[in-house]
């Protein structure tokens, strides 16, 4: 499905970029193909360099919650950039952004801005170890927290399909401090805490895992993690880089009523520019330099253009009552997909919350990455290419979550459902 110009660009890219891509999941290896190149995006559509227009369900892997290039963001970036792209000195936008994050996210009393979700999780883990004086952490299979050495163990997303899940280059001594467990099996967490609870600095997880499909925690599971970490003096860290500001103002914390000690944020709060953040209880955050002994820094952290863009996006979400609207179109999409599956008698499953969704090509109950891996990946591959041929772009991997935006209209949803019906025939 590569056009001629995309073929030329990919050939040139492979000569100077490893694998021809700057992030492995873009490589199309999961669907036995090569990527195309995009020259512009507007609303819910992208246009490749060969002029083909596609309805997009990736949305920059989550940040484009208003759609691509909304006027409110492009105007903001243009105006702020005229005063300078970066200062390396405090600016008013980062203070305003911090206030909004603290107001919207239940767990956050203080927050520090960084430049990516990876930086956010890395810093949160370092802070948890520094605060507790302990070394071990618990993470869950298939939960991807960025390419952090101590967290790239049994990871999700691109790590599931590009090389080994336990990446080369990670010292065994460091990996040994990471205890990896299957998600949604409470007895396994209880066993570990009973055995070595006083050695555990933190439990980190995606509260709604979105890098191995889109999985929901069993009722009471998050509450159990909250109870165990509190009992044993460990910290609970929610990685809400994807779900934060995406599913609700306060993310999964708001939806579940479970408040972690720390959380990692990103994507939506950058408006499409590189941004991350981590925050939580004030007494924990005060362990960061310059006030405390845990060092963390970044030249571009709190970049004025990124902060202004993120603020503009959050304000527009509030102005448009965005989360209610996303739920409405999400429900329309879900009803349509489930109707197609039922009508065709297909053994498939569909998970959705708000504007995030995943279609599974199998009938196994989806509880963790093991159940996701039982799916029919060849069926997904055929479905992906059939949709692409008909003008609908999905993530080129069965492990990825799809995203809706406020730019998707009812007609866009209905057009997509017609394509799905054809492709699943």
pLDDT digits (tens, 9 = 90+) for 296-334: 999 999 999 999 999 999 999 999 999 999 999 999 999
Share of the chain above pLDDT 90, in %: 86
Catalytic sites, residue numbers: 144, 239, 267
Q: CA torsion angle for 379, 382, 385, 388 (degrees, to 10)? A: -60
In order of their start, the domains of the chain are 4-69+321-423 (3.90.1150.10), 71-318 (3.40.640.10)
The least confident of 134-143, 156-165, 348-357 is 156-165
Q: CA torsion angle for 27, 30, 33, 38 (degrees, to 10)? A: -40
Full-prediction pTM beyond 0.85?
A: yes
For residue 149, is pLDDT > 90? Answer: no
Give the tens place of pLDDT for each residue, 180-192: 999 999 999 999 9
Q: What is the pLDDT of residue 287?
A: 98
Mean pLDDT of the chain: 94
Give the tens place of pLDDT for each residue, 231-244: 999 999 999 999 99
Q: What is the pLDDT of residue 164?
A: 39
Q: What count of Cα atoms within 13 Å lies in the side-chain half-sphere of residue 264?
A: 31
3-state SS assignment for residue 64: coil
Q: Are 279 and 133 in contact (CB under 8 A)?
A: no
Q: How confident is the model at residue 367 (pLDDT cuts 50, 70, 90)?
A: very high
The residue behind tokens 């955050």 is 285
Q: What is the pLDDT of residue 212?
A: 85
Sign of the dihedral through C-alpha 204, 208, 214, 219:
positive
Q: How confident is the model at residue 153 (pLDDT cuts 50, 70, 90)?
A: low
Q: What is the pLDDT of residue 172?
A: 74
Q: How confident is the model at residue 159 (pLDDT cuts 50, 70, 90)?
A: very low
For residue 20, is pLDDT > 70? Answer: yes
Q: Are 348 and 360 in contact (CB under 8 A)?
A: yes
Give the tens place of pLDDT for each residue, 290-300: 999 999 999 99
Q: Quick check: bond before 290 cis, omega within 30? A: yes
For residue 165, is pLDDT > 90? Answer: no
For residue 152, is pLDDT > 80? Answer: no
Share of the chain above pLDDT 70, in %: 96
State mean pLDDT over 1-18. 94
Residues sharing a CB contact under 8 Å with residue 266, sequence separation 6 or more, in sequence order: 116, 117, 120, 241, 244, 275, 276, 277
């Amino acid at each position: 499905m590569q056009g001629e110009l995309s073929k030329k660009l990919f050939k040139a890219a492979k000569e100077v970029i490893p694998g021809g891509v700057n992030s492995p999941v873009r490589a199309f290896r999961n669907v036995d193909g090569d990527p195309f190149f995009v020259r512009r995006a507007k609303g819910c559509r992208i246009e490749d360099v060969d002029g083909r227009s596609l309805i997009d369900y990736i949305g920059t892997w989550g940040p484009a919650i208003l759609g691509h290039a909304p006027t409110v963001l492009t105007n903001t970036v243009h105006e702020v950039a005229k005063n300078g792209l970066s200062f390396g000195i405090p600016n008013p936008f980062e203070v305003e952004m911090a206030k909004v994050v603290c107001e919207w996210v239940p767990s956050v009393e203080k927050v520090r801005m960084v430049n990516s979700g990876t930086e956010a999780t890395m810093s949160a883990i370092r802070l948890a170890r520094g605060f507790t004086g302990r070394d071990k952490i618990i993470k869950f299979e298939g939960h991807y927290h960025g390419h952090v050495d101590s967290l790239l163990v049994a990871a999700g997303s691109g790590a599931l399909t590009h090389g080994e899940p336990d990446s080369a280059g990670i010292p065994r001594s460091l990996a040994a401090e990471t205890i990896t467990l299957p998600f949604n099996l409470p007895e396994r967490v209880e066993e570990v805490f009973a055995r070595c609870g006083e050695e555990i600095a933190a439990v980190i997880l995606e509260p709604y895992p979105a890098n191995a499909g889109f999985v929901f925690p069993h009722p009471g599971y998050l509450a159990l993690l909250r109870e165990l970490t509190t009992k044993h003096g460990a910290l609970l860290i929610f990685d809400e880089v994807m779900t934060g500001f995406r599913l609700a103002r306060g993310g999964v914390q708001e939806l579940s009523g479970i408040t972690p000690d720390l959380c990692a944020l990103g994507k939506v709060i950058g408006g499409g520019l590189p941004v991350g953040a981590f925050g939580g209880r004030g007494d924990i955050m005060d362990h960061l330099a310059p006030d405390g002994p845990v060092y963390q820094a970044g030249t571009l952290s709190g970049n004025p253009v990124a902060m202004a863009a993120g603020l503009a996006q959050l304000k527009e979400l509030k102005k448009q009552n965005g989360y209610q609207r996303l739920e409405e179109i999400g429900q329309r999409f879900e009803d349509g997909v489930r109707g197609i599956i039922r009508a065709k008698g297909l053994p498939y499953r569909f998970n959705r919350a708000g504007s995030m969704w995943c279609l599974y090509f199998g009938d196994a109950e989806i509880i963790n990455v093991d159940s996701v891996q039982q799916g029919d990946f060849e069926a997904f591959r055929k479905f992906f290419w059939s949709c692409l041929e008909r003008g609908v772009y999905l993530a080129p991997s069965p492990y990825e979550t799809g995203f809706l935006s406020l730019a998707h209209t009812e007609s866009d949803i209905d057009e997509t459902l017609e394509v799905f019906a054809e492709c699943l025939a």
